[in-house]
Amino acid sequence: MHKVDGAHKHEDIHAVLRKYWGYEAFRPVQEDVVRSVMAGRDTLALLPTGGGKSLCFQVPALAMGRMCLVISPLIALIKDQVQRLRRMGIPARAITSDMGRAEIENALENAVHGKVPLLYVSPERLSSDLFEARLPRMPLGLIAVDEAHCISQWGYDFRPAYMQVQEMRLRVPGVPVLALTASATAQVAADIMEKLAFPAPNVIRGRFHRPELVLWVSRGEDKNGRLLRIMHHVEGSAIVYLRRRRATVQMAQFMRHHGITAEAYHAGLPPAERDRIQKEWTEGRIRCVAATNAFGMGIDKSDVRVVVHTDLPPDPESYYQEAGRAGRDGRTSFAFLLVGPGDERQLRERVAASFPPLADVRRVYQAFADMHGIALGSGLLEQYPLDLQALATRTALPLTTVAHSLKVLELDGKVALSEGARTPSRVLITASSRVVHDMRVGSPRFGPVLEALLRLYGGLYEEPALIDEGRLAKVAGLTVEKVTALLKELGRMQVISYKQRSDAPGVTLLEPRHDAQRMRIDPAALAQREQRAIERMEAMLRFVNTDRCRSRELLAYFDEPDPGDCGQCDVCRTREYRSIQADTSIVASPLTHYDGPVNAMRWMKDEGVAGTE
C-alpha cells in the first residue's frame, strides 16, 4: 500500500506526473502552482474551467510523501476523484456526510497512520469531534481548499462551513494552504486570502482569456429554431443548458425529432441512467446532452465544440464556468446564449424568489424535521434524504420556494445540501476476527452471508468495500431482500458497518435541530447576500446588453488584463459587417475575397443577432 512518510525524500514532480498520469509536461501555470506549494508558500490558484486544478495538489502530495487534506463541497466530484485515484493505485479516501461513524473512524485512523496520501473531506466534517481529535496526529504536508470562492461572502456560492478552515489552520501551524477556484473577482480573491490567513498575498493566475472560444449572444423569439441552426452550422459534441428538468426532456425529444442524437440529463435521473448518458456522450455515441447545471462537474471531454444556454445564467461566474466546457482542446468552439423577450424580467424574478420570507423558511425546516422524526437538540452532522416534492406537498408551498428555503438555511450555516451522488453499498467489519469466525461457523442464520462477504471481498477489516447485494445473494443462496435484512441486522449488532446504496440528494444538519419558530436567521447577513446576488445578476445583464466585445466585457468583470477586441464575438462581427456594408467598393468585389466577413453576415442573418433581423 502507498505509504505516507514524513521523512520521505521529495520525488521529482515530473517523475510523479509521468508515473501516475503518463504526462511528460504540465499544462500552462500548473507547474508554477506546484512549485509554489512545494516551497511551502500559501498559494491562491485561479485556474479556468478545464485548467487541471486537481493535479496542482495531487502531484505535490505524492512528491512530498506527506498527506494532502482536500476540502471540497462537491460530494459527487469528491467520489469521482477518489475512484479515479484508487484505479491508478493511489489509496485516496473521502469523508462525506453519507458515511457512518465506523467508516469515518476507519478512514481517519488510516490517515493518522500514514496510509492515505490524499484525504478528501466535505467542509461540514471539519468541526466533528472525530476529525478534530485526530487532526494533530495526521502527517499533513498540504491543505487544498477546492472551490475556494465558497469561503468569501462576496463570492457567488458562499458556504459558512468553509469558515472553519481558518480555525483549523491554527491547530496545524506550518502546513501550507493551496486555495483553488475557477472564477474570482479581485475582491473575492483578496477575501479568500484574508479568510485563509495567508501571511502574504500570493496569487497565480491561469489564462482566463480563451481566444479559441467564440462568445455569441443571439436574440429573437424562436429559440428552438435558432438552436437547430446552430447545431447544423457547428459540427461535434454539444451541451445545451436549461434551467428546468422538464425542459431538458422536452429539448432532447425536440432534437431527436430533428435527427440529432440527444439525451436529457438532470439530477432526478437514476444514477445508472446518468452514468450511461455521460459515457455515451463522452465516447461520441450521443452528440448532444440537454442538461441542467448538474451536468458538467468533473467532465473529462476536451472536444466539446458548442455550449448553448437557453436561459440567462444568474451571474457571470456560472456562465463562464459552463461556457468554458467548450474547446478545452484549444480548437475553435462556440458558447451561445439565446436571449428572448421577457428573459431579463424572468431572471430578475428568479433572483428575487431565491430569498423567500422567513416564515416560509421556518415552515420548510419544521416539515423536514417532522418528516424524518428529528427530535429537538438532535441530528447534529446526520444526513437525511431529501424529497423536494414531498416537502412541497407537506408545506403546500411551490417546489421552487422549498428549494430556495433550504438554500437560505445553507447560507446561514444550519444545513449542508448535497446533490444526488451515486453511492454504492459498503461494508466494513467492525467486530474482532474471533467474533466473526464464531458467527461464520456457528450461526445458521448469519453464517452464509458472512461466508459470502469474506469470499467475495478482501480487506474488510482494514477499510470499507463496495459490495453488490445481488452477487452476495447468489453466493449465499438467499434472496437479495434477505441478504439486505441480514446485513442491516449485523450492522445493528455492531458486527459490521453497513451503508446501503443511496442515490437521493441529502441534507446534513450542521447544528442540532432547532425549534423552527424560535430559529434565528441573521436578517442583515441575508439582506447582504441578496444584494450581492442582485449585483452579480446586473453584471450578467450588462454582459448580455453590452455594445463592446464580449470577451473584453467578461474579462473586465474578473479583473483580467484587457486583451483587446476578440474580432469573433457577435458584437465584433456586427461591427465588421456594418463597416463592410458602408464600403461600396468591398461589396462590389468578388465575394470569394471576403469569405470570413461574408460568412459572418450570413451567420448573423440566420441567427438574427445584434439588430440584423
Please give, one letter per residue, the 3-state secondary structure of 31-92: HHHHHHHHCCCCEEEECCCCCCCCHHHHHHHHHHCCEEEEECCCHHHHHHHHHHHHHCCCCC
Whether residue 13 is predicted with pLDDT greater than 60 in this model: the reply is yes
- List % helix, strand, coil for the chain (3-state, nearest 5): 45, 15, 40
Is domain 426-499 annotated with CATH 1.10.260? yes
End-to-end CA distance of the chain: 65
Coil, strand or helix at 570: helix
Amino acid at the residue 334: F
Q: Give residue 283's pLDDT band: very low, low, confident or very high (50, 70, 90).
A: very high
Question: What is the CATH architecture of 13-205?
Answer: 3-Layer(aba) Sandwich (3.40)
How many percent of the chain have pLDDT more than 90?
57
Q: Cα–Cα distance between 238 and 287 in angstroms, integer?
A: 6
pLDDT of res. 425: 85
Task: Name the most confidently modeled range: 180-194, 277-291, 418-432.
Answer: 277-291
Mean pLDDT of the chain: 86
Which of 269, 289, 292, 271 has its CA nearest to residue 280?
A: 289
Q: Give residue 101's pLDDT band: very low, low, confident or very high (50, 70, 90).
A: confident
pLDDT of res. 597: 41
Q: Cα–Cα distance between 227 and 338 in angstroms, integer?
A: 8
Please state the pTM of the whole predicted model. Answer: 0.77
The crossing angle, in degrees rounded to 10, of helices 523-545 and 399-411 is 110
Q: Give residue 602's pLDDT band: very low, low, confident or very high (50, 70, 90).
A: very low
Residues 6 or more apart whose CB falls under 8 angstroms from that of 225 comprise none
Helix (H) or strand (E) holding 428: strand 426-429
Q: Name the more confident of 447 and 182.
A: 447
Q: Name the more confident of 419 and 358.
A: 358
Q: Give residue 254's pLDDT band: very low, low, confident or very high (50, 70, 90).
A: very high
Tens digits of residue pLDDT in 485-496:
999 999 999 999
Where do you find CATH 3.40.50.300 in the chain? Answer: 13-205, 213-341+533-607
Tens digits of residue pLDDT in 171-197:
899 999 999 998 788 888 999 999 999
Q: Give residue 423's pLDDT band: very low, low, confident or very high (50, 70, 90).
A: low
Cβ neighbours, 10 Å, residue 521: 16
Tens digits of residue pLDDT in 214-223:
999 999 889 9
- Report yes or no: 368 and 573 within 8 Å, Cβ to Cβ: no
Q: How far is CA 247 from CA 186, 347, 400, in A?
A: 36, 16, 15
Tens digits of residue pLDDT in 564-585:
999 999 999 988 877 665 544 3
Q: Cα–Cα distance between 542 and 456 in angstroms, integer?
A: 59
Coil, strand or helix at 334: strand
Task: Name the most confidently modeled range: 176-185, 332-341, 527-536, 583-592.
Answer: 332-341
Q: Cα–Cα distance between 459 and 505 in angstroms, integer?
A: 29
Identify the CATH number of the domain defined by range 213-341+533-607: 3.40.50.300
pLDDT of res. 525: 80
Where do you find CATH 1.10.10.10 in the chain? Answer: 349-422+504-521
- DSSP for 345-383 reads HHHHHHHHHTS--HHHHHHHHHHHHHHHTPPTT--TT-E
Q: Give residue 419's pLDDT band: very low, low, confident or very high (50, 70, 90).
A: low
Q: How far is CA 579 from CA 460, 549, 564, in A?
A: 72, 16, 19
Whether residue 500 is predicted with pLDDT greater than 80 in this model: the reply is yes
According to the 3-state scheme, what is the secondary structure of 88-125? CCCCCEEECCCCCHHHHHHHHHHHHCCCCCEEEECHHH
- Report yes or no: 83 and 120 within 8 Å, Cβ to Cβ: no
Q: Name the more confident of 384 and 80.
A: 384
Coil, strand or helix at 219: strand
* Domain 349-422+504-521, CATH number (from 1.10.10.10, 3.20.20.100, 2.30.30.140, 3.50.50.60): 1.10.10.10
Least confident range from 8-12, 150-154, 328-332, 602-606: namely 602-606
Whether residue 547 is predicted with pLDDT greater than 70 in this model: the reply is yes
Where do you find CATH 1.10.260 in the chain? Answer: 426-499
